[in-house]
Amino acid sequence: MEKPGNTKQRKGSPAPAQPQKGWITLQTGTAVITVVSIFMAVLTAWQVIPVRGWLVGLLYAVLFGGLIWAIFFGMRFFYKTFR
């Protein structure tokens, strides 16, 4: 019979859960998000400016480029909170 304070692992007991590492580093992910958000902003501006004008086109470009960052930071916050 084991003592209650015994901390040895038995063969059948599961190992403590280790935090999983991401498949890309945070630095690489940030670089990819930067390139994607700039590309999305330029593409959006290019499509909207001829139809709606410069002011609305640039506003939409900033909005869509910024939403990519909002999703990125929102998901980081979500995973950090619930892990």
Number of domains the chain contains: 1
- The CA–CA distances, whole Å, from 75 to 15, 68, 70, 83 equal 28, 11, 8, 12
pLDDT tens for 16-74 read 666 677 788 889 989 999 999 999 999 999 999 999 999 999 999 999 999 999 999 99
Burial class, 36, CB count within 10 angstroms (exposed 0-12 / middle 13-18 / buried 19+) = middle
Domain membership flag for residue 2: no
This prediction's pTM: 0.66
Separation of alpha carbons 36 and 39, rounded Å: 5
Three-state DSSP string of 47-68: HHHHHHCHHHHHHHHHHHHHHH
Kindly state whether residue 31 falls inside one of the protein's structural domains.
no
Q: Please give the residue range of the domain that contains residue 74.
A: 37-82
